[in-house]
Chain A
Amino acid sequence: NAGVTQTPKFRILKIGQSMTLQCTQDMNHNYMYWYRQDPGMGLKLIYYSVGAGITDKGEVPNGYNVSRSTTEDFPLRLELAAPSQTSVYFCAMSDRGNQPQHFGDGTRLSIL
């Protein structure tokens, strides 16, 4: 079992470009999450999903979009990349609410 797989591991974008960060889990867990981590800081929740077809905003959703068409996949979309979105992005899963979250290895994104 791989758990949570994130791709790509690294990416450099130019301002105004768009991209999708991929997140896939193989544990059939209902809950999935996207966080960003800025240098020296804790993680901040961008979006989360409690099941296929259901998504909700977290603390810092502006500039991002998500979809959850299947239990396994939870992609994060950046439409118009801005330097403020330079960060490390983590995807996580949990079986349900109030259960331990398990993280992917992250995607390091730089926007220049």
Chain B
Amino acid sequence: GIQVEQSPPDLILQEGANSTLRCNFSDSVNNLQWFHQNPWGQLINLFYIPSGTKQNGRLSATTVATERYSLLYISSSQTTDSGVYFCAVEGYTNAGKSTFGDGTTLTVKP
């Protein structure tokens, strides 16, 4: 199956700083999603982005499918951005079967 690697595993920032989270995957994908798991354990879908660039407020994401990676940018970070960020992909040969990375744990300090 597809392998998904996220980096860095942990990230600590001061409020107001910018950050970039990376997701590498081992095969072609037709589905890539970024999720935020808040400290209460809830999973929020941030982006559905199999290719191209999307922006939503202070967050943006870019997927370069031909090079098999995606980036999540967080600008002007806030303490409420803390939590775990997951990347999940789905390959062409496994429709419906998403593979998650192990996540990046972000801590934003006031």
Whole-angstrom CA separation of A35 from B45 in the bound complex = 15
Interface residues on A, range: 20 to 34
Which parts of B59-108 form the interface with A (CB within 8 Å)? Answer: 86, 88, 90, 95-103
> With A42-B102, A88-B41, A105-B42 in contact, is A97–B33 under 8 Å at CB?
no
Give the number of residue pairs across the A-B interface with Cβ within 8 Å.
Answer: 59
Q: Is there an interface contact between A98 and B100, defined as CB atoms closer than 8 Å? A: no
Q: Is there an interface contact between B86 and A43, defined as CB atoms closer than 8 Å? A: yes
Give the total of B residues in contact with A, Cβ under 8 Å. Answer: 24
Residues of B within 8 A of A88 (CB): 41
Q: Is there an interface contact between A105 and B41, defined as CB atoms closer than 8 Å? A: yes
Q: How would you classify the secondary structure of chain B's contact residues: helix, strand, loop or mixed?
A: strand
Q: Is there an interface contact between A45 and B97, defined as CB atoms closer than 8 Å? A: yes
Q: Is there an interface contact between A98 and B30, defined as CB atoms closer than 8 Å? A: yes
Report if A62 contacts B (CB, 8 A). Answer: no
Q: Is there an interface contact between A42 and B100, defined as CB atoms closer than 8 Å? A: yes
Whole-angstrom CA separation of A45 from B95 in the bound complex = 13
Q: Is there an interface contact between A99 and B48, defined as CB atoms closer than 8 Å? A: yes
Report if A74 contacts B (CB, 8 A). Answer: no
Q: Return the CB mask of B18-39 against A: 1 if under 8 Å, else 0.
A: 0000000000001101010000
A93 to chain B, nearest CB (A): 11
* Partner pick for A41 among B45, B50, B99, B102, CB 8 A cutoff: B102
Write 23 A-B pairs (CB below 8 A) sorted by A numbering: A33-B98, A35-B100, A40-B102, A41-B103, A42-B86, A42-B88, A42-B100, A42-B101, A43-B100, A44-B100, A45-B99, A48-B97, A58-B97, A92-B43, A97-B96, A98-B30, A98-B31, A98-B95, A101-B33, A101-B45, A102-B45, A106-B41, A106-B43
Q: B residues bordering A, Cβ < 8 Å?
A: 1, 4, 30-31, 33, 35, 41-43, 45, 48, 50, 86, 88, 90, 95-103
Q: Apart from A42-B103, A43-B86, A100-B48, list 5 A-B contacts with CB within 8 A.
A: A43-B100, A92-B43, A97-B95, A98-B30, A102-B45
